[in-house]
Homo-oligomer: A and B are copies of this chain.
Amino acid sequence: MRDNRTVTTSLDPDIAGRLKRTADGLVPAVVQQHDTGEVLMLGWMDDEALNRTLTTGRATYWSRSRQEYWIKGETSGHVQWVKEVRLDCDGDTLLVKVDQEGVACHTGDRTCFDADLLPAPRHA
């Protein structure tokens, strides 16, 4: 929860006004490889993480577990270069199209969805 933090952000007020945030001030960001269409991961952004993503061109998230900003690849080298950022029809989800260097997942998999396929009926 971020209630005790106050962060100054210079996110464009027009964009900030369109965002619908969770109770802890965050918006889920779906991250997609821009050319292959792979869904790489889901991250969370507050206004300032979105501002940094839009202005620096490097995908930046709010880490809910560490309670800090997290520039993807800063320690791993697995940088996400931002190609495009879109807001959905309800203003409550972001789609971030990136060029992923190396792998997206901390497990070493290319995407965070590679390992766990659930049993489901398949419609032909």
Contact = CB atoms under 8 A, between A and B. Distances in A.
A121 B57 contact: yes
A83 B122 contact: yes
Interface residues of A, number: 50
Q: Within the oligomer, what is the number of copies of this chain?
A: 2
B99 A87 contact: no
Contacts of A81: 123
A42 B57 contact: no
Interface in A76-94: 81-93
B55 A121 contact: yes
Interface of A: 12, 15, 18, 22-23, 28, 30, 32, 36-39, 41-42, 53-57, 81-93, 95, 99, 105-107, 109, 112-123
